[in-house]
Structure 1
C-alpha cells in the first residue's frame, strides 16, 4: 500500500533487527495457513515468543496479538475468564498469548477475534450465489461473527489502550446460526431456499479441521467497556449487505 514499507522475512529464522527500532506499537497477526502441527506451533507459539523478545529489546511500547475465540474449550456462554486450550491448535494459540502477556513491553493486549468475514471472505454467500443451495455440516450451532473492518478498528483501539495487559474477545455481539444466515442470504439474493444436509461437505474451514464444530456464545462486552470499541456492523447480515449490493444483487 502507498506510504508503507514492506519487509519479507521468516519470523523464526531471520534477524528481526532488519525491521528497525522505531516502533511505538507492533501487531502480530500471523496465520498458520494450514500445514499441520508444525505450522501451528511456528505461527501461534514460537512466533509470538520471538516477537515478544525482540519487542522488549528495541523498546516497543505496545504489543498486540490477534488470537481467536476458538481457544475456548466448552460450548455455551464463554467470556475472557473461561478455560482456554485443550487441543493442538488451541494450545499453541494460548502459548503464544502467554508469551505476549508475560513480556515486559508496557502494553500487552491479546484480541480473541470471532469468525472473520468481509470483502473477498464470504464463502457461504459465494456458494449460494452459484446456485449451490445444499448447505452441509452442522447448521444449528451459533457462530460469533466479526467484520474485517471491525477487527482492524479493534486492533487500532488496542494499540492506544491504557498501559498494562488484557485479553479481550472481539465479536459483533449478535451470534447467528449457519442455518439462519443461509436462509437470510437466499431470501436476500432470491432463488431457491437452502437445503440442509449434515452429511454434505461443510465450509472450507471445517473441511480443513478435524475438530468438532463448536456451539458457543462468546461474550464481548469487555472490549466495549474497556476500550470504547463498538462494531460498525452490528451483525453479519448488516455487514454482508453492502457486499451483496456491490455484487449487483
Structure 2
C-alpha cells in the first residue's frame, strides 16, 4: 500500500474551479492543515472554513494576474455550458492560462477529468489501462487537456457524480420522465460527491501516485437495476424503456487501482448512497 506524503510537502494548494467538488476538496485540505487558496468565477465571502477564496475566470487570463506561487494545484473546473466551445475554453485554454499565470509550475497538479474519455465497452470492465475512445466532444476535449500535464501530475477520471444538491434523478423518477435501456447491459457508474473529493485529496498526497486513476465506487450497476431500486425507494413508477444517456457509452468502471493505493469509499454502493439522501 502506498503511503501519503507529509503535509509540508504541499503546504500551499490552489483549488481552481471551486464549485461543488472543488469546495469540498478545499475544505477537506484545509481541515488537514494545508494552506488552501480556492479560485472561482463568482465571489465568495471569506468564512471560517480555513479556505482563502480568490476570484478569477480561467477563460479570461487578465483576471488571473498576481496569483501567488503554490506547491500543488487541484484543477476542478466546470464549464457553464455543455458545448464544445465552453469545454475547450475551460479545460484546455483555461488550464494553459492558469499554468502561465502562476509564478512557477506546481510540483503536482491533480486534474479532474471524466470517464467520458472511454468509449463503448458493453458489459466489459474498464480501468486505467483501457484505451481511450471518447464518443462525445466532452471526452475528446478532456483528453486534450490531460496531455497538457507534466511528469508527476495526476489525472482522476470521475464517474457520474451524485450527492446533496444532485438529486435531479429523483425528480425525473417521480415525474415518470426517466427512461432506461432495459436488459441491454448498460451500466451506471457512480461516485458520491464527498467520495470524489476525498479521492482527489488522497491522490494529491500520495508519495508516488500513478498517472491516472478511475474515480468510481465499488459497485457498478446495470442502469435499469439502479433506477428500479431508486423508484422503489421513492414509491415512483418503474422507468420505461428508452435510449442510453448520450455521449457516455456503456462500460463497467473498476476502481481497483484507487483501492490498491489505500482509498476507500464511504459510499461503496450507490444504492446506499442515494438512500441516505432521502433520510
Q: Is TM-score (shorter-chain normalized) higher than 0.5?
A: yes
Unaligned runs of 5+ in 1: none
User: Counterpart of 1:32 in 2: which secondary structure?
Assistant: coil
> 193, 215, 220: which one pairs with 1:148?
193
How many angstroms does 1:235 deviate by? 0.9
2:211 alignment partner, SS class: strand
Displacement of 1:177 in angstroms is 2.3
Task: Say if 2:52 is the partner of 1:8.
Answer: no
Contact 2:72 2:108 in 1 (8 A): yes
CA shift for structure 1 position 220: 1.4
- Residue 4 (structure 2) aligns with: none
Structure 1 position 115 matched with structure 2 position 160? yes
Q: How far is the alpha carbon of 1:59 from its aligned partner?
A: 4.7
Partners of 2:198 and 2:156 lie apart in 1 by 12
Gap regions ≥5 residues in structure 2: 1-46
Once residues 113 and 164 of structure 2 are traced to their aligned partners in structure 1, the CA distance between those partners, rounded to angstroms, is 21
**TM-align CA RMSD:** 2.3
Please name the residue that 2:110 is paired with. 64
Quote how far apart the aligned CAs of 1:96 are: 0.8
Per the alignment, residue 96 of structure 1 pairs with: 145
CA distance in 2, matches of 1:164, 1:145: 23
1 CA distance for matches of 2:112 and 2:105? 20
Closer/same/farther in 2, CA of residues 174 and 198 from structure 1, 3 Å limit: same
User: When the two structures are superposed, what TM-score results if normalisation uses the length of structure 2?
Assistant: 0.73
Q: Does residue 194 of the first structure (1) align with residue 238 of the second (2)?
A: yes
Task: Tell me the equivalent position of 1:81.
Answer: 129
1:28, 1:85 → 2: CA distance?
Answer: 23
| 2-structure distance, mates of 1:195, 1:94 | 33
- 8 Å contact from structure 2 (residues 228, 239) kept in 1: no
- How far 1:77 sits from its partner (Å)? 1.8
Separation of aligned partners in 2, 1:166 and 1:60: 16
**Bigger CA drift: 177-186 or 109-118?**
177-186
Counterpart Cα distance in 2 of 1:181 and 1:79: 21
Matched positions, count: 226
Instruction: Name the CA distance, whole Å, in 1 between partners of 2:240 and 2:265.
Output: 30
* Partner in structure 2 of residue 40 of structure 1: 87
CA contact (8 A) 2:227 2:239 kept: no
Aligned-partner Cα distance in 2 for 1:73–1:48: 24
Distance (whole Å) between structure 1 residues aligned to residue 254 and residue 239 of structure 2: 30
Q: Distance in 2 between matches of 1:156 and 1:167?
A: 14
TM-superposed CA distance for 1:114, in Å, is 0.7
Cα pair 1:62 1:159 within 8 Å, conserved = yes
Question: Which whole-Å CA distance do the structure 2 matches of 1:138 and 1:197 have between them?
Answer: 5
Question: Any conservation in 1 of the 2:231–2:238 contact (CA below 8 Å)?
Answer: yes
Shift in Å at residue 134 of structure 1? 4.7
Residue 263 of structure 2 aligns to a residue in which SS? Answer: coil
